[in-house]
Amino acid sequence: MKVIKDFRFFICLTVTCLYGIVINSLRNSFQFFLGPIADYFHTSSTNIALSSGMLMLTSGISSLFAGWLLDKVGVKKTLLYGNLVIILSLSLSLLTKDYHLFNISFGLLGGFGYGMSWGVVTQYYISKKYPEQKGFALSMLANCNAFGLALFSPLWTSLASTNSWKLGYKIILFSFIIIAPINIFLLGKTDKQVEPRKIIKSDSWILAFKNIFSSSKIKFSILSSCICGMSMGIMDTNLVLLMKNELLNKDIISRLMSTFGLFVIIGGISVGILSDKLFKNRKNLLLILLILRTIAFILMITPIAPLIKFSFFVFIFGITYSGILSQAAAIITGESISGVGKLLSINMLLHQISGMLGVLVCNLSLKIFNNYNLVLYLVVALTILIIMYGYTINKSKSRV
């Protein structure tokens, strides 16, 4: 029976990861197609880039709706609604002739569908369905974006060089139409096992926020997700620029970024396995990841040789990149409380908002000081405060 159960878990996780690779291609292909899309609509890249920001913000907001919907109608229907919105978004994006309409269809509709189809929904189902393996499963889901980049970057680069961005989005659309129904079937056919209780009136947003403030573990998890989002937002947009400012050549930067992607995948999977096998208290693993993240940012403000600095940074930041968010989600879903879907959606929204704040603080640091020191010191200080809070939770519980 254990073999059968493990086989079902493997099949379910594999299909969900394939689904995740396709749906995340909607986001990660955009950076390759930005120029060709701008040329197609005869406008600037800045105007088209707006749709990417809209997608990020809308996906964060729609995750709140996804959390509410999860607690009301379950996984299957939530995924179905989100998937239909994504199909509509891609179809309209391919048909429109005006960049304003493209921003609406790709940014607003695409973000709404993405927030309802990925992240909160898949975290919720996998965590509830496979509690003993959820650390590994959540880390695999968190790495789907990195897997997609590794697999399809050559294809997106090739299509962008020939201005064939529409062909790229057609490939994503048709792949999504194939994999989405299979994923819904595997995820949704056992909704009753995932959600055995009936939703009661008290299972509201007010109760969700009360649960956050009453549980130190949930507060620590959400604070960890926030600082994780801020540091991700900073480095996802500025890491290459930071390397260029230190006068590293293009070949070294390219190798460092490729190595970074490899460490993201290795670190994510390793953290998932460790959390399932060695760390009964996932909060301790989350503390270790935060300490490592702090060390990585301290390295960035240390006056050492740039190549040594960035080599260590891409290693430490890479292995902690997806682990913090996945472990925070694992802790939240492990709590025996109602409204877990809403809690996950709040966690994801705050993670996304923190990422946007990281980008804004970066711009402010550059305008005022003409360097990144302000934002680097800020991340170090905030992370240390969160680590201290997590440590006090452990200490107070050990005394009980």
**DSSP designation for 198:** P
Residue 234 near residue 301 (C-beta atoms within 8 A): no
Identify the structural domains of the chain with CATH numbers, from first to last: 2-194 (1.20.1250.20), 205-395 (1.20.1250.20)
**Rounded average pLDDT per 10-residue block, the chain, 400 residues:** 62 90 88 84 81 80 84 86 95 92 92 89 80 78 80 82 90 96 74 42 68 87 92 78 80 79 84 78 90 95 91 92 86 75 83 81 79 88 95 64
CA–CA separation, 179 and 158 (whole Å): 24
| Model pLDDT, residue 360 | 77
pTM: 0.71
- Which residue in 79, 73, 64 sits closest to 20, CA to CA? 79
CA–CA separation, 274 and 264 (whole Å): 15
